Structure 1
Amino acid sequence: MRTSSKTERPRPVRIATEAVRQHAELVAFLWAQRDSWSAEDPPDAKAIAEIDERLEINLDGLRIAGASAWPHLIAQHENFPEKGELFAFAWMALELADGEKMAQAVEFGRSAADDAKGLIGALAWHKPAVIGPFVRRWIGDHDAFIRFLGVSSCIVHNVDPGVTLARLVKDDDSRVCAAASRLAGQLRRFDLGRDVQSALDHEDERVRLWASWALVELGAGDLTRQELRKIAAAGGPDAMVAMRALVKAGPEKDVRTWMGGLMKSPATAPIAVRGIGMLGDRSALTWLIQRMREPYVAAAACATFLELYPEARVETKLFTADPTELGPAFTKHFEDDVVRLALPDKVETWQPEGGGAR
């Protein structure tokens, strides 16, 4: 058998344009869905893991396409500049180590109204070795937003920037200062305790929140209880962060007494009901079922139930997204709100593993 003496040329990779477009769209959609589900209270870890599997499959499609994916990524961000589209764009810029496209992603993130979630999500998805060249430049940049990206990258990868963190905790920019305080607590940087404590007097509530949270992590929760209680009781977007910090700071008896005070007002009772779940006390189930029957705390009671009994998620018959199933009072209270509620009668007859309601 004779063989050809000619060397065969490698065949060029053929890119299916429509397939690449679909991969780009699915990456944006799935990551945005993942981010929204991660923000649920409490998040469903199993559902998020399933999204991650699908997301990785579509990221592989973009990896294969390489630079050929750019027309689709650029077009979809231009047409719909939201967090998922920014994630896809920034992820590819990092994947290809494309400095020019990464600079574009940074500017897209700067104009985003959500603290550049998509951009930070892309930084979190890649390994530290991939993003390191960018982060090392960002962490000391003169631009406050870029410093914020640098600190945020350290947070998502639990990386210690060393002596630079002491300066960042005292940064003039409130967003950088808050993120740096959070990182100091996360890393247990006890050497920065005094600097973090100074941030408790900051005019920005987010800085005070993360400084308080960090001090709890550093074992100085007694310095922060008043600020954390104020933030938690206000019921704003950071209420649950403050509540978890309070529970961790303890002592539990004081926390329970404070929650009891919150229960006296319809405005603050949901915060207290939600806090019960953070205490991890399964013996509260009977009490919790009663709260499920009260419209103004029912959503908090459902979230607490899921935190105490995550295995109940598989029992779909225990929950509803239709308040009318619980009667006129619920219909009136929630009106057109989309909300997940537990069905108390069904929860009462449900038997959790290890005992509970019967």
Structure 2
Amino acid sequence: MSGNSSHSWQSEKRPAIPEIVRGHIENGASLWVQYQELREALPEDDTIVQHAWRRLSANLRGAELSGDLGWELSLAQAEDFPEAGEFFILTWLALVVSDRQRLGKVIDLVAENPESIVGVNGAVTLAPVKWLSPFVQGWLESPQWPARVAALAACARHGQDLGSRLPVLLSDRHPEVRMHAVRLLARTGAFEPQLLAELKIDKNPNVRLEAALLLAESGDREGALEVLKALVEDPKTADAVAQRALDRAATLADDDEIKDWVRTMLAKGELDAQAIRVVGIHGDAASWPWLISQMEKGATAEIAGFAACDMLGCELTIGTFFTDDPMRVSDEVAAQYDVDFAILPDVQQFRIALATERLSPLLGEERSLRARTLDRYRAEARSATA
């Protein structure tokens, strides 16, 4: 009786071990994403960041101790869900045992799922030098772009100067390699005019953004602004890249330059989403008729409403200038959005406000919350370089 009970207990417990390991892997993947977001928003020594690191470390340790089982489960997870967090764990487990074959498998998978390179770089930048040193040279010479990117991320994190090899990587055939080579160039402080001139006109927006940031760091404010503004105004630029370009441009330009930029944009008439946001963040009362016209167009109604919120420094709420009533938007706007779920600008309310000058107090000396925040960033940047 007791023997059967013991056997039954062991049979029930054995399958739980992979589940525990899988839990460490899944938790570690999501916790790493959370940790990255917190590091970008808060100082490294912030209590919240440190707490997130401790939780991540505990799950990493659990996955490490599981040995081959952890690797196999992590590999399956990354193949099923090729996201950054999953590839962070997979790369970490290959590095911790210094397994060249497993790292090769990671590189192969990233070549098939390019966006997952973020997770690989995350593991590389957190790993100690002794884990990386056996592989970096081979990665630099690898024909596979993810390996070259991983090597550059490692060199940037640990201050390795590649010397004459760096210009070759700056002209690499893969844009992700070029982008990371620019980041490494920024760390070396070797701002060669000819290299920067070539990077400014790179065909990849991500590379041009990194080049603009490097130009700003090198002291070429006008050159940086030229590239950043072009990125914001180019409808082919991905939203995330355009947003970073917009934020950096706003911290580099003074108020007069921003106003000139807004006037130039308004003269063009047709703008993409990020350029409309520039008008909302930095425009004045003269921008309102133009913004209202954008609210009446199907393609730009929503972002024009967001821009209006930026200008007013208000929340997007129903009942004042926004509506969830499909009867209060134009047919063109209704055709663009699922009006059963959308919260869209109520153009009629904006027109009434303009006619009765209800907006005057908001559009006088007071600027939007976002614009005031950017003013503070500029002041901090000036004081840091004084």
TM-score normalized with structure 1 length:
0.66
Matches within 5 A, 1:41-190: 54-114=55-115, 116-124=117-125, 126-134=126-134, 136-138=136-138, 140-143=140-143, 145=145, 146-155=147-156, 157=157, 159-164=159-164, 166-168=166-168, 170-175=170-175, 176-185=177-186, 187=187, 189-190=189-190
Shift of 1:195: 1.8
Match of 1:210 in 2: 210
Go from structure 1 to structure 2 and tell me whether the alpha carbon gap of 1:98 and 1:172 turns closer, same or farther (over 3 Å shift). closer
Name the CA shift for 1:115/1:305 in 2 (closer, same or farther; >3 Å): farther
Question: Partners in 1 of 2:259 and 2:325 — Cα distance?
Answer: 29
Where 2:82 maps in the other structure, the secondary structure is coil
How large is the RMSD of aligned CA atoms in angstroms? 4.9
Change (3 A) 1:153 1:260: farther
Structure 1, unaligned stretches of length 5 or more? 1-13, 349-354
Partner amino acid, structure 2, of 1:241? R
Structure 2: stretches of 5+ with no match in the other structure: 1-13, 350-357, 359-365, 369-386
* Deviation of the 1:102 alpha carbon: 1.6
Residues 44, 264 of structure 1: alpha-carbon distance in 2 compared, 3 angstrom cutoff: farther
Looking at structure 1, the residues matched to 23 and 265 of structure 2 have their Cα atoms a distance apart, in angstroms, of: 49
Q: Name the CA shift for 1:181/1:278 in 2 (closer, same or farther; >3 Å).
A: farther
Offset from partner CA, 1:234-273 (integer Å, 9 cap, x none): 2421222332343344244223311333245674264245
Letter of the structure 2 residue corresponding to residue 254 of structure 1: E
Looking at structure 2, the residues matched to 90 and 247 of structure 1 have their Cα atoms a distance apart, in angstroms, of 37
Find the aligned partners of 1:305 and 1:135 in 2 and give their Cα distance: 50
CA distance in 1, matches of 2:97, 2:341: 40
Matched, 1:258 2:266: no
1:315-334 to structure 2, matched below 5 A, reads: 325=324, 329=329, 333-334=336-337
Residues 182-261 of structure 1 aligned to structure 2 (within 5 Å): 182-185=183-186, 187=187, 189-235=189-235, 236-237=237-238, 238-261=241-264
- Rg bigger for which structure? 2
Are the structure 2 counterparts of residues 147 and 249 from structure 1 closer, same or farther at C-alpha, using a change threshold of 3 Å? same
1:298 and 1:341 in contact (8 A); partners too:
yes
Question: Which letter maps to 1:122?
Answer: A
- Report the alpha carbon displacement of residue 342 of structure 1 after superposing the two structures with TM: 11
Percentage of matched positions with identical amino acids: 21
Counterpart pick for 1:274 among 277, 284, 295? 277
* CA distance 1:219–1:90, shift in 2 (3 Å): same
Match of 2:382 in 1: none
Following the alignment from structure 1 to structure 2, what is the Cα–Cα distance between the partners of residues 16 and 53? 23
* SS of residue in 1 equivalent to 2:246: helix
TM-score where L is the length of structure 2: 0.62
Kept in 1, the 8 Å contact 2:27–2:59? The answer is yes
State the distance in 1 between where 2:173 and 2:150 align: 13
Q: Structure 2 CA distance, aligned partners of 1:88 and 1:188?
A: 29
| CA distance 1:266–1:153, shift in 2 (3 Å) | farther
C-alpha deviation, 1:203, in angstroms? 4.3
* Distance change (3 Å), C-alpha of 1:268 and 1:115: farther
CA offset digits 1:120-170 (Å, max 9, x no partner): 22223x244255315631563142512222123344x27342425642454
Q: Kindly provide the amino acid, as one letter, of the partner of residue 222 in structure 1.
A: E
